[in-house]
DNA sequence: CACGATTATATGTCTAGACATTTAAGTCAA
DNA sequence: TTGACTTAAATGTCTAGACATATAATCGTG
């Protein structure tokens, strides 16, 4: 009863060890650079085997909260202050999650041999055919975002015959192309005439832009630009660590 | 020699098992929903103990690539399509990393009892004193971003006497307040007169806005708004999974 | 004092078991 | 057919060891 390790916890031991240490780090009790107890000390404190504390410490190391150095010990890491988890949902799912009615409208669809500009945008040397799609998403009948997308048909041949007049291409791809990697670039631009009309905002009004480039094991799949009215849309990112 | 498990790898076994499985998932060979081999099957395939394959699978589960269900097995997860890792560096570090010269200028600093607006912005019920800071960051002598910050002195008393005329508050906080959590909100707005002047852009020009709210174990630390000229700054987020 | 060799130590990985827990699937009766 | 009970299979956690490996600290030597 003398140690802080009594109490019939319902959780498992290694999780409790991990939580104990995480708490001390997050509260600042153990600041960056602080050496946390050696494995054998934790073994003694918690009365368990080394594998158990090792599992706890390994997970903390994986989460970048601590750094482990052979012979020296484990140390609280200096916070990175540079990585945050950004949630970018499928637009349809996002609007529905907000409790608003989702509307979708296909503005244009073209199937063509890739032009030089297309190849440049997709980041490929040579491409066969591509589908170019322009569409608009709305929430409660108010324009929410316009989408301008290019799909590489050599990677996703099915997209040639998909019916994008009913289903938004983002949702379609999500269900037909598993496990991709992507890169997002976020910026702000002034609405040009075409955008202003589609979003029902003034020409020159600020828009939030997300450019997403998606590939799967080195094969380009799609490049998309999403334009949101700047005053109505927000991206939220959360993170831990400095 | 018959299995794909020979070869004197320099890496450890559990990492190889993890990499093998990850590769099959990422290439689509094992699509979402696919049941990956049972632990005892992998034990047989790799000729190791169960703890070793368990470690590999546990890490894949932690990375959300697979889902483990008792009695049923382990399954490739459907990609989330909503979490991306966004890198938001300290501005000074970011500019220096770009190989450009960093410039900093303190525009205003006020120490005051928290007003209602301050409390609202910091998300606290009652607050004693706060420091309000306005400053400008520049790269190669061109305005890069303007910063508008509020620091809760009841959480960071040292900030009252820190010299923010030389060191940017973001960098100062990074070195004086360890292990925080934060939430970022990204949006786009039109530059108002004050912002336009500070950034040397036209009034009404689009700006990328990052609002960051930082706390540490339930204590608010700082709230900051960063305004970047929309045409010059980009945020890049990378992710894996759908 | 400087520098190279040695040693001690903490972590990294692994084993061959064990028991607990969850739950899919099968069994049987109403 | 349905619902309750049983069973078995897979994962979850844990142990008490083992050897490997990197490296901080020490010791010797020039």
> Which DSSP category does B154 fall into?
T
Show which of residues 9-28 on chain A sit within 8 Å of chain B, judged by CB atoms: 25-28
Residues A139 and A221 in one domain: yes
| Domain around B39 | 13-76
In B, which residues are within 8 Å of A84 by CB distance? Answer: 85-88, 182, 184
Residues A106 and A44 in one domain: no
Model confidence band, residue A165 (pLDDT cutoffs 50, 70, 90): very high
Report the distance from CA of residue B66 to the C1' of nucleotide C5 in Å, as an integer: 49
Residue A163 vs residue B231, higher pLDDT:
A163
Protein-contacted positions of strand C (CB under 7 Å):
8-18, 21-24
**How is residue A155 written in tokens?**
């990677």
Which candidate, B117, B225, B209, B79, places its Cα nearest to that of A186?
A: B209
The residue behind tokens 């470690």 is B55
- Residues belonging to chain B: 242
Across chain A, what does the average pLDDT equal? Answer: 91
**Chain-chain contact of A82 with B89 (C-beta, under 8 angstroms):** yes
Q: Is residue A1 part of a domain?
A: no
Number of domains comprising chain A: 2
**How is residue A68 written in tokens?**
């482990």
Task: Give pLDDT tens digits for A98-117.
Answer: 899 999 999 999 999 999 99
Residues B55 and B166 in one domain: no
Q: How far does the CA of residue B91 sit from the closest CA of chain A (Å)? A: 10
Which candidate, A171, A176, A174, places its Cα nearest to that of A157?
A: A176
Q: Which pLDDT score is estimated for B234?
A: 80
Q: Which pLDDT score is estimated for A9?
A: 62
Lowest mean pLDDT of A44-48, A77-81, A199-203, name the range: A77-81
Residues A31 and A144 in one domain: no
> Which DSSP category does B37 fall into?
P
DSSP letters spanning A142-204: EEEEEEEEEEETTT-GGGGT--TTTS-HHHHHHHHS-S-EEEEEEEEEE--HHHHHHHT--TT
Between B76, B189, B231, which is nearest A189 by CB?
B231
What is the full per-residue pLDDT of chain B (242 aa) written as tens digits? Answer: 434 444 446 799 999 999 999 999 998 899 999 999 999 999 999 999 999 999 999 999 999 999 999 999 999 998 876 677 887 778 998 899 899 999 999 999 999 999 999 999 999 998 799 999 999 999 999 999 999 999 999 999 999 999 999 999 999 998 898 888 899 999 999 999 999 999 999 999 999 999 999 999 889 999 999 999 988 778 887 776 54
A204 inside 8 A of chain B by CB: yes
Nearest residue in chain A measured CA to CA from B88: A82
Residue B53's CATH number: 1.10.10.10
Q: Which pLDDT score is estimated for A5?
A: 41
Residues A168 and A211 in one domain: yes
Q: Which pLDDT score is estimated for B82?
A: 66
Residues A72 and A172 in one domain: no
Q: Which pLDDT score is estimated for A241?
A: 62
Distance CA B239, CA B242 (A): 9
């Amino acid at each position: 009863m003398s140690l802080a390790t009594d109490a019939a916890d319902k959780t498992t031991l290694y999780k409790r060890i991990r939580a104990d240490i995480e708490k001390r780090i997050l509260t600042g009790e153990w600041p960056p650079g602080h050496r946390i107890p050696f494995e054998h000390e934790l073994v003694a404190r918690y009365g368990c085997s080394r594998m158990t504390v090792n599992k706890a410490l390994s997970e903390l190391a994986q989460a970048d909260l601590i750094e482990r150095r052979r012979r020296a010990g484990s140390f609280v890491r200096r916070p990175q202050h540079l990585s945050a988890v950004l949630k970018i949902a499928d637009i349809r799912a996002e609007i529905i999650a907000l409790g608003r009615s989702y509307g979708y409208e296909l503005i244009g669809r073209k199937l063509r041999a890739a032009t030089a500009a297309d190849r440049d945008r997709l980041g490929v040397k040579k491409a066969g055919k591509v589908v170019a799609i322009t569409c608009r998403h709305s929430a409660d009948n108010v324009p929410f975002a316009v989408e301008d997308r290019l799909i590489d048909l050599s990677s996703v041949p099915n997209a040639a015959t998909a019916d994008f007049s009913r289903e938004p291409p983002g949702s379609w791809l999500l269900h037909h192309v598993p496990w991709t990697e992507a890169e997002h670039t976020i910026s702000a631009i002034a609405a040009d005439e075409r955008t202003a009309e589609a979003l029902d905002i003034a020409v020159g009004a600020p828009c939030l832009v997300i450019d997403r480039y998606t590939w799967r094991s080195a094969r380009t799949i799609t490049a998309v630009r999403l334009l949101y009215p700047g005053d109505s849309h927000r991206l939220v990112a959360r993170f831990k660590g400095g």
